[in-house]
């Protein structure tokens, strides 16, 4: 239990730190003074000041903030304030937080492939592993076999192998392969999985491949971004049930995933980071998305929204988010016990 709590704090802390670091770096680049860079909410535990910015660690680790000069109306006349900058500069500062969450996801997935899983090698037709219980094992295929042809058609790379097997669900196919310098032929019938033929083989995986790992990190991040938006749409349309987890639920999932290895923990942290980035971009009051919306309206209208009205909307939104978080946490606790 202690290890689960520590791992959860580290994951939440990393995600929040990277998000606020995005705002911080973009603000510094735009010449905006950062008054405070904080991890957590509530009572200040540790704090120090450097070059006009106060850095603090606070009691409750579920959040953070980057307070910029000019966010309060009385600071609008001071040099280096947020409101004095152009709309594109302010837009970049607000958007940088969620974007950094996507960058973090790419890096976490890349680390997973680089150190633990390895990158699938597409330029070869050599079998990396024959999965237990699959059709390939049943007909005697072995790790290291090189597939030369499928149904008499030569295959050049792993994607050729996959596409030709996928195209024949529950249809007998003939594999020509090479093993220990000798050629063999094997007949196998791919099982039907969602309209695709599968026989239970995987490609060769290579660890410590830097650029391919980054590429796979990017591809996996993009895959999950699309998957989350599709899930949002399906929940709204009632196709799938609305199943949302709060901090308590996430901690429980972290505990379960920890038992399966570091690579899965990295993957979970990346998926949570993607969710955090997407949710913050939604036009919900008090989140970055609503601030981006107000900046867009300012650009269309040619003048800013009344700061008092905008502040009130953000305050109400923040209060509603807190209530929603409490409600979801109670649901999480009810599920656990």
Burial 109-126 (b: 16+ CB within 10 A, else e): bbbbbbeebbbbbeebbb
What is the rounded CA–CA span in Å between residue 61 and residue 59? 6
Q: What is the largest CA-CA distance in the chain?
A: 82
Tell me which residue has tokens 């592993």: 129
Please give the helix or strand (H or E) that residue 220 lies within, else none: helix 210-236
How many other C-beta atoms can be found within 10 angstroms of the C-beta atom of residue 202? 15
Q: What is the 3-state secondary structure (H, E, C) of 117-179?
A: HCEECCCCCEEEEECCCCHHHHCCCCCCCEEEEECCEECCCHHHHHHHHHCCCCCCEEEEEEE
Is 20 considered catalytic here?
yes
CA 144 to chain centre: 33
Apex 10 CA angle, 264 and 291, nearest 5: 100
Contacts of 331 (CB under 8 A, 6+ apart): 246, 249
Which of these is catalytic: 20, 77, 79, 138? 20
Sign of CA dihedral 289, 292, 294, 300: negative
What is the rounded CA–CA span in Å between residue 78 and residue 300? 26
Tokens for 106, please give them.
């790419």
Closest-CA residue to 14 (of 329, 325, 266): 266
Residues annotated as part of the active site: 20
């Amino acid at each position: 239990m202690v290890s689960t709590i520590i791992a959860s704090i580290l994951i939440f802390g990393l995600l929040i730190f990277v998000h606020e670091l995005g705002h911080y770096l973009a603000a510094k680049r735009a010449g905006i003074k950062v008054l405070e860079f904080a991890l957590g909410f509530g009572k200040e535990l540790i704090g120090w000041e450097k070059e006009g910015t106060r850095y603090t660690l606070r009691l409750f680790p579920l959040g953070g903030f980057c307070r910029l000069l000019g966010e309060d109306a009385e600071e609008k006349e001071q040099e280096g304030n947020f409101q004095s900058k152009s709309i594109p500069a302010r837009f970049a500062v607000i958007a940088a937080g969620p974007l950094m969450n996507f960058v973090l996801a790419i890096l976490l997935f890349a680390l997973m492939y680089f150190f633990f899983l390895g990158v699938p090698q597409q330029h070869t037709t050599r079998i990396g592993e024959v999965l237990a219980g699959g059709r390939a094992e049943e007909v005697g295929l072995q790790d290291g076999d090189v597939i030369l042809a499928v149904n008499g058609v030569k295959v050049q790379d792993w994607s050729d192998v996959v596409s030709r097997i996928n195209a024949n669900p529950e249809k007998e196919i003939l594999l020509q392969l090479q093993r220990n310098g000798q050629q063999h032929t094997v007949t196998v019938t791919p099982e039907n999985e969602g309209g695709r033929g599968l026989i239970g083989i995987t490609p060769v995986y290579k660890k410590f491949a830097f650029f391919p790992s980054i590429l796979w990190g990017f591809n996996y991040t993009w895959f999950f971004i699309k998957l989350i938006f599709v899930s949002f749409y399906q929940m709204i349309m009632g196709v799938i049930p609305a199943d949302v987890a709060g901090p308590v639920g996430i901690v429980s999932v972290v505990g379960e995933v920890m038992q399966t290895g570091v690579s899965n923990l990295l993957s979970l942290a990346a998926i949570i980071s993607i969710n955090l980035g997407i949710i913050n971009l939604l036009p919900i009051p008090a989140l970055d998305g609503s601030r981006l919306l107000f900046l867009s309206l300012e650009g269309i209208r040619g003048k800013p929204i009344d700061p008092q009205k905008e502040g009130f909307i953000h305050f109400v939104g923040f209060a509603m988010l807190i209530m929603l978080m409490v409600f979801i946490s109670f649901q999480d606790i009810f599920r656990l016990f």
